Structure 1
Amino acid sequence: MNLFFEESGDFKAGTVLSQQGEAYQVELQSGKRSKVKTRDVLLQFTSPEPAQLMQEAQALAAGLDLDFLWEVAGQEEFGFAELGAEYFGHAPLPQEAAGLLLKLHGAPMYFYRKGKGRYKAAPEASLKAALAGLEKKKQQALLQAQYVEELKAGRLPESMRPQVRQLLFKPDKNSIEYKALETACDELQTSPARLMLTVGGLASPKDFHFSRFLLEHFPKGSGFPAVQLPALPTLPLADVQAFSIDDVTTTEIDDALSVTVQADGTLKIGIHIAAPALGIRRSDAIEAIARQRMSTVYMPGEKITMLPDEVVAAFTLDAGAARPAVSLYATLNPDDWSVLATETRVELVPIVANLRHNELDDQVTEETLASGSGDYPYRRELSLLWQWAQVLEQGRMVKRESFGLKPEQANRVDFNFYVEDDVVSIVRRKRGAPLDKIVAELMIFANSSWGKYLHEHGVPGIYRCQGSGGWAARMQVRMLTHAAPHQGLGVDQYAWSTSPLRRYTDLVNQWQILACIEHGVTAPLAAPFKPRDADLFAIVSAFDAAYGAYADFQTNMERYWCLRWLDQQQARRVEAVVLKEEVLRLVDIPLIVRLPGMPAAPRGAQVRLDLLRWDEVELTIEARLIEVLPVEADASLAEEVLDEAVQDEPAEALIEAEADAEVTTTEGEVTAPGAADSVAAATESAPQPDNP
């Protein structure tokens, strides 16, 4: 006797060797023996042979018409043998019954299984929907195959063009476009980004990095909706002649300075900060834009501003007009440069000049300032500001050392990136030049003074602090809503307030400062943000996240442009300096190279490398050590890098002033502190101006 039975969802036939109770010992065609329970047996037959039955059943099943079977089956539940008798017109032969069962079981859209050998025909509506879905899948499979062939041929299907960013960075993995891209990449043994570069979905590796950033942080695009310029209050006109000091490409001019010699011989130095808080109100349309962005985004060659261009134009401190500003005046005794008094005002400030670094850096040097020589604008004013800036720096260093920190180093070199027509030049610039230091020290003075001003009025603000607690806590820079020391800068409190056109935190602090000016002792009741305001804590958290993400993006883009520079220069053999262990920085550009397995060399050692390859998509570089150069190769460079490596002090203790530095970017140019790699960015030591 032979059996046709079901085992593990599959149908088989075999010869019975023995029976014991409710089980059979069955030998299959392959010679394998199986134990088959009675409940799994569907047919018992003597002929044909099991192998022949399976062969004939499969052939018969292939020829059966499913649509006709479905019509014959009706709407009631049935057994396969019952349907076989009606379909064949006689009691079905074993191979006929088996073939029919195979056909029913293999068509779940037509027949729903109800038990062993029992089925029910699908309702007509359900069958039509299932067949339509099947046809759709067939068409999608054909379309997917077409997409794959086009991608492999180097063409981007038109329907995929609008989805390039989504496919690369936030794909729907069930879409046929993503499946086609994945299949093509597997067959070509490449990555989605490289394939998109090949087929024209991405214009360049730069487009890849920029697109990823935009999709994550500006999914609706980086443009601005139409906004109505805010009305400004009537303000008194200041009796000063103010000038700004910025890079030539700066458009968000936040700060300007003025110097007035008074009748009694004292000096009144004004620090004038653009005042968008006079027109932008909390919860209005422009404030919503600024809060969503939190900061201007900088990168070599371009930037994404925090505020719309027309708003920036209304408040930036451009020369040739009186501009609304919040002014901090310090009255000084020029004999010892002590601060006799400070005063904060809201006023219109005449801006008579916008001085530019590229025009003055070579003329305004420590030597010309000391000798009084040189022919450049505002020579006397800059000389006086330079003298005060040095006194301010010395005072900070004393305070810093009282906190147990080492003095700041001044040998750090920054790198400026200039991009024009996709060609990059990278220029070294020594940090701590007089114009840099003047602006840096006066901005630190203003941020510290206004932080104290808010604290004395009982009004919360957004502070940067560093110190207190254990060693690790002392080294970490944090944001708080109350005054606390910033040990790295050597000040008792530090509230970002001098860049309200490009940082939302500074705009918030300016609202609070304006409340103090207007309301005095009642400011805590009138300020936009009250003590322990939960919304202020939310702003701190959101700003930290956004500012960190923007900084990471800027670092990646600077690394990209460093690799582009290597390609443009056809650089293959270069010199580098050891920062620590296996971490090196190229001499000519701020590009960090890691060299696993490199022989031990001291910090500051200069080496020669062969660059083997680099990848502008992955932002990686491979190099080989050729030789360690003699110590006397460049002693000044070694000293600079030793300072850069910041021996014995973690970076968090030293980079705060750079965080307060504006990275000036416009179409074609960027001026930035050297942040081409997190290791380099982690070694800042000297204070930086708001507008370097």
Structure 2
Amino acid sequence: MNVFYEESGTFKVGSVLADNMTSLHVEASHGKRSKIKASSVLLRFEVPPLYEFMHQAQQVAAELDTDFLWEYCADSEEFSSHTLAADYFGHTPSPVEVAAIMILLNSAPMYFYRKGQGRYKAAPPEALRAALASQEKKRLEAELHARYKQQLSDFSLPEEFKPHLDDLLYKPNKSTVEWKALESVCTATKLSVPKLLEKCGAIASTHDYHFNLFLREHFPDGTAFDIPDIEFAYVDHDDLPVADVSAFSIDDATTTEIDDAFSVSLLPMGSFRIGIHIAAPALGIAPGSLLDQIAAKRLSTVYLPGQKITMLPEKTIDSYTLSEARLCPALSLYLEVADDFTVTSTYSRIEKIKIIANLRHDALEQQFNENTLRKNLTNYPFAQELSLLWNFSRKMEIQRGKENDANNEKIDYSFFVEQERIIIQERRRGSPIDRVVSELMIFANTEWGKQLADAGIAGIYRSQNSGKVRMSLSPAPHQGLGVAQYAWSSSPMRRYVDLINQRQLIALLTDSTPPYSKDSDDLLISMRDFEQVYGIYNEFQRSMERYWCLRWLIQENIQITGAQVLKENLVKFDRIPLITRVSSLPDLSPGTQVKLEISQIDLLECTLNTKFLHKEHI
């Protein structure tokens, strides 16, 4: 006796060696013996021979029409495969025919639901339609997947990918067939998604790839200011007094957010008055207004070579920037200074300031520098005022204990991008221009921080202890600057912290209730958010400067360069602010000049290969 039985969802046949009522010992045609449950047996047969049974049953099953069988059974309740075989073949079915029916029913689970012991039920029409549609969808997806893989493997971008490129690059839906094909080819080629898409011609601009990656994460709604025109309305501030001074600003050539300007007025007995004038957008941007909410979300202007994302809309900046030939609202700090450059008194005012010039670094540095100061040359605009400010700045450095500050010898870099061409210029940080502007800003931020603290008005302070810089709502020393307290207040159009502090200062000067109390949640949230976001923005600026440094190396066809060892295998390139590791660098002392060979610059990954050539002999 032979049996046709089911084991683990698979049909098998075997000859019965022993029948123990509830279980059987069977032997397969290839000799393997098994113990099976009696309930697993679906058919018992003598002929055909065991070794031919499955072959004949599968041949018969291959000739059966699944759709016909489903239509025949569609209106039936649960049915037996034996009954269906008798109806289909029109006679008492042979064991092979019954087995063929079972094989067909079992292989079409969308059409027939298994009920056990050779019984089935036809799937309802709507369920079958849904299952067939799903099957067709999977078939089409499989075809798409195969085609996408082939095209991507040939480094050809499928047309269907084009509308989804941003999502695939920055925020992929990993359930899509496009992503699955892309991921599969990346695994096979050992390429990252951006590198593979670049090879397929999908990334037209490596710069835009990096920039858009940043925007996707931090400006998902775009950089435009979607607010009504009424929010941009400029307040005339006609009630403000006009100061009897003429002020000038000192900024980089590309600066449009001119936050600060200076004036110098001569007084009797060799003394003079310095005015530090800060743009006052806090006079027109009310706390909680739509414009304020946007500024509170952005928290700072984002800078990168060739462009920037401003904290405030251009119309608002135009209203408050300290542009020349205009009367501009300002928060002014006046310093009465003796002839030995000692500050004898200070006072603050809210007023309008006449801006008579916007001086720019590139032009001013040709006239106002160490050489012209040493020779006492005065044949350029504002020479007397700048000379007084220079001497005052040197006195302030001494008072702060920073007269020999090593930072003054460091090099800063300016990036200019013109029609995809990059220009990188070196500037020594401790130039007279830098030292004048920085000392006046340090004085203002220190003094206004002190005034807020003395008046018991909340403010946001920046402190430094043991090299660690942090922000807090309590005044604390800033060791790096050598001051007792420091509250950013000098860039209210570019930093939200400064805008908050300016509001508090205006309340102090007008004897009104400050917008923020010491236990204000808004103040604490703004401080914490700013500290996090400001770090992210600065890191992005550094990464884009690295990108443009690599672009400059390609542009200038630099293959051999000088560099200075910083530590271990870390070096800084000459002429540009590019720092990288050189694995082939021998053990050299920091400060050693070396020559490097450059190769394989990758603008997408922002990497390059460098090879140590030799040590420079100076």
TM-score using structure 2 length: 0.93
Query: Would you say 1:592 and 2:590 are equivalent positions?
Result: no
- Within 2, Cα distance between the matches of 1:602 and 1:540? 41
Post-superposition shift, 1:149? Answer: 5.0
- Within 2, Cα distance between the matches of 1:285 and 1:98? 76
Post-superposition shift, 1:321? Answer: 0.4
- 8 Å Cα contact 2:234-2:319 kept in structure 1: no
Aligned to 2:345: 341
Q: 1:66 to 1:271 in 2, by over 3 A?
A: same
- Within 2, Cα distance between the matches of 1:119 and 1:545? 64
Aligned to 2:472: 480
- 8 Å Cα contact 2:332-2:351 kept in structure 1: yes
- Within 2, Cα distance between the matches of 1:56 and 1:555? 74
The match for 1:230 among 226, 229, 233 is: 233
Q: 1:391 to 1:114 in 2, by over 3 A?
A: farther
- 8 Å Cα contact 1:24-1:37 kept in structure 2: yes
Residues 576-600 of structure 1: per-residue CA shift (max 9 Å, x gap): 1111111111112221121236321
- Within 2, Cα distance between the matches of 1:313 and 1:63? 83
- 8 Å Cα contact 2:489-2:502 kept in structure 1: yes
Q: Secondary structure at the match of 1:614?
A: strand
Q: Secondary structure at the match of 1:203?
A: coil
Q: Secondary structure at the match of 2:243?
A: coil
Query: Would you say 1:607 and 2:594 are equivalent positions?
Result: yes
Query: Would you say 1:560 and 2:542 are equivalent positions?
Result: no
Post-superposition shift, 1:162? Answer: 3.0
- Within 1, Cα distance between the matches of 2:350 and 2:49? 104
The match for 1:514 among 502, 506, 517 is: 506
Residues 588-635 of structure 1: per-residue CA shift (max 9 Å, x gap): 2221121236321111011122223221111122222122223xx2xx
- 8 Å Cα contact 2:463-2:478 kept in structure 1: yes
- Within 2, Cα distance between the matches of 1:482 and 1:50? 92
Q: Secondary structure at the match of 1:239?
A: strand
Post-superposition shift, 1:177? Answer: 2.5
Query: Would you say 1:353 and 2:340 are equivalent positions?
Result: no
Post-superposition shift, 1:137? Answer: 3.0
Q: 1:574 to 1:78 in 2, by over 3 A?
A: same
Give the residue type in structure 2 aligned to 1:361: E
Map 1:386-465 → 2, pairs under 5 A: 386-397=390-401, 408-465=406-463
Query: Would you say 1:549 and 2:536 are equivalent positions?
Result: yes
Post-superposition shift, 1:29? Answer: 4.2
The match for 1:260 among 265, 288, 298 is: 265
- Within 1, Cα distance between the matches of 2:433 and 2:178? 55
Q: 1:78 to 1:244 in 2, by over 3 A?
A: same
Q: 1:556 to 1:58 in 2, by over 3 A?
A: farther
Aligned to 1:120: 121
Q: 1:282 to 1:18 in 2, by over 3 A?
A: same
- 8 Å Cα contact 2:80-2:119 kept in structure 1: yes
Long gaps (5+) in structure 2: none
CA RMSD of aligned residues (A): 2.3
- Within 1, Cα distance between the matches of 2:275 and 2:476? 25
Q: Secondary structure at the match of 1:238?
A: strand
Q: Secondary structure at the match of 1:410?
A: helix
Q: Secondary structure at the match of 2:371?
A: helix
Q: Secondary structure at the match of 2:494?
A: coil
- Within 1, Cα distance between the matches of 2:277 and 2:456? 24
- Within 1, Cα distance between the matches of 2:478 and 2:49? 92
Post-superposition shift, 1:272? Answer: 0.7
Residues 332-353 of structure 1: per-residue CA shift (max 9 Å, x gap): 1122x22211111111110000
- Within 1, Cα distance between the matches of 2:584 and 2:33? 60
Question: Which fold has the larger relative contact order, with Cα–Cα distance below 8 Å and residues 6 or more apart in sequence?
Answer: 1
- 8 Å Cα contact 1:452-1:493 kept in structure 2: yes
- Within 1, Cα distance between the matches of 2:103 and 2:461? 76
- Within 2, Cα distance between the matches of 1:257 and 1:144? 66
Post-superposition shift, 1:325? Answer: 0.8
Query: Would you say 1:275 and 2:280 are equivalent positions?
Result: yes
- Within 2, Cα distance between the matches of 1:412 and 1:517? 39
Give the residue type in structure 1 aligned to 2:171: K
- 8 Å Cα contact 2:260-2:322 kept in structure 1: yes
Residues 473-510 of structure 1: per-residue CA shift (max 9 Å, x gap): x3211111121111111111111111111111111111
Q: 1:416 to 1:27 in 2, by over 3 A?
A: farther
252-261 or 197-206, which deviates more: 197-206
Q: Secondary structure at the match of 1:549?
A: helix
Give the residue type in structure 1 aligned to 2:560: R
- Within 1, Cα distance between the matches of 2:131 and 2:482? 74
Q: 1:328 to 1:32 in 2, by over 3 A?
A: farther
91-100 or 448-457, which deviates more: 91-100
Q: 1:110 to 1:493 in 2, by over 3 A?
A: same
Residues 52-73 of structure 1: per-residue CA shift (max 9 Å, x gap): 3222333333333222222222
Post-superposition shift, 1:24? Answer: 3.2
Q: Flag the structure with larger Rg.
A: 2
Give the residue type in structure 1 aligned to 2:543: N
- Within 1, Cα distance between the matches of 2:531 and 2:268? 46
Query: Would you say 1:244 and 2:249 are equivalent positions?
Result: yes
Residues 417-445 of structure 1: per-residue CA shift (max 9 Å, x gap): 22111121222211110001110111111
Q: Secondary structure at the match of 2:162?
A: helix
Give the residue type in structure 2 aligned to 1:478: R
Q: Secondary structure at the match of 1:489?
A: coil
Aligned to 1:576: 563
- Within 1, Cα distance between the matches of 2:129 and 2:410? 74
Post-superposition shift, 1:150? Answer: 5.0
- 8 Å Cα contact 1:251-1:316 kept in structure 2: yes
Aligned to 1:540: 527
Long gaps (5+) in structure 1: 401-405, 468-473, 634-692
Q: 1:475 to 1:78 in 2, by over 3 A?
A: farther
- Within 1, Cα distance between the matches of 2:497 and 2:328? 21
Residues 234-287 of structure 1: per-residue CA shift (max 9 Å, x gap): 311111100000011111111111111124542211111111111111121211
Post-superposition shift, 1:174? Answer: 0.9
Q: How many residues align?
A: 613
Give the residue type in structure 1 aligned to 2:162: R
Aligned to 2:220: 219
Post-superposition shift, 1:100? Answer: 2.1
- 8 Å Cα contact 2:234-2:316 kept in structure 1: no
- Within 2, Cα distance between the matches of 1:107 and 1:132? 15
Residues 448-487 of structure 1: per-residue CA shift (max 9 Å, x gap): 11111111222211111112xxxxxx32111111211111
Q: Secondary structure at the match of 1:612?
A: strand
- Within 2, Cα distance between the matches of 1:272 and 1:362? 25
- 8 Å Cα contact 2:460-2:474 kept in structure 1: yes
- Within 2, Cα distance between the matches of 1:283 and 1:80? 75
252-261 or 71-80, which deviates more: 71-80
The match for 2:373 among 369, 373, 389 is: 369
Residues 74-98 of structure 1: per-residue CA shift (max 9 Å, x gap): 3422333333333333443323222
Aligned to 2:387: 383
- Within 1, Cα distance between the matches of 2:28 and 2:503? 87
- Within 1, Cα distance between the matches of 2:336 and 2:63? 103
- 8 Å Cα contact 1:261-1:267 kept in structure 2: yes
TM-score using structure 1 length: 0.84
- Within 2, Cα distance between the matches of 1:571 and 1:32? 74
Map 1:88-237 → 2, pairs under 5 A: 88-151=89-152, 156-186=157-187, 190-226=191-227, 227-228=229-230, 229-232=232-235, 233-234=237-238, 235-237=240-242
- 8 Å Cα contact 1:165-1:215 kept in structure 2: no
- Within 1, Cα distance between the matches of 2:194 and 2:414? 29
Give the residue type in structure 2 aligned to 1:134: Q
Q: 1:529 to 1:11 in 2, by over 3 A?
A: farther
- 8 Å Cα contact 1:75-1:123 kept in structure 2: no
